[in-house]
Amino acid sequence: MDEKFEKIYRMIERNQNTRRRNQSSGGAASPLLTGLVAYYKLENTVDEVGGHTLTATNGPTVVAARVNNGYLVDTLATSYLTTATHADFNLGSTDLTIVLWFKPTAANVGQSLMGKWNFPGGDMEYLLQISTAGTQDWYVRKADNSDNVLVSLATSLNVDAWYMFIVDVDHANDITSICVNAATPPITAAWTTTGRSGSSPFDIGGNTAAL
């Protein structure tokens, strides 16, 4: 197991436990939030640390989640949450790590989980999606807009089970990575260039056209 990804996974798990304890006791926020540019509990549209408030589009609904509530985004209705483009979400030559929890309610339906990816005909920067074949795909767009780097997993995802996804762009080590639940080593690909920084909004959910 990759040490970096295992550390992130354990930190997130501790943060979830802290949230459960503090829900009734009113305790202090987790130190995990230090240094983040955005943090969404997704109990609502509020960014807890960065002020990048989300807007609910096409009717995503609030449902019971792993801790308290979360949003159900419907692929067929292309429901999603979005916030305007901002330097905090751009890649360029900056390292990027994104962590999210996801529970599929159907198998292999083709679901965009999050990203800055206006396809076709717009700015494509990065995207995490579940393909219709069931693979977990992490796309990163090169700065010159010539091509994507794709890292893909084939983890079998059970309907109504929770999964933690970690995606990463590490310029110091020239790799981009994806990992699910930190149970196995992350899948990596070489990344020796800068990433595209464009005008696409940052979206959670939705339905990206087939790539």
pLDDT (tens digit, 9 = 90+) per residue, 79-125?
999 999 999 999 999 899 999 999 998 887 788 899 998 876 668 89
pTM of the model: 0.85
pLDDT for 13 equals: 59
For residue 55, give Cα distances in angstroms to 14, 30, 83, 182, 185: 28, 25, 6, 30, 35
* Both structure tokens of 22: 């503090």
d(CA 207, CA 197): 21
pLDDT band at 45 (very low <50, low <70, confident <90, very high): very high
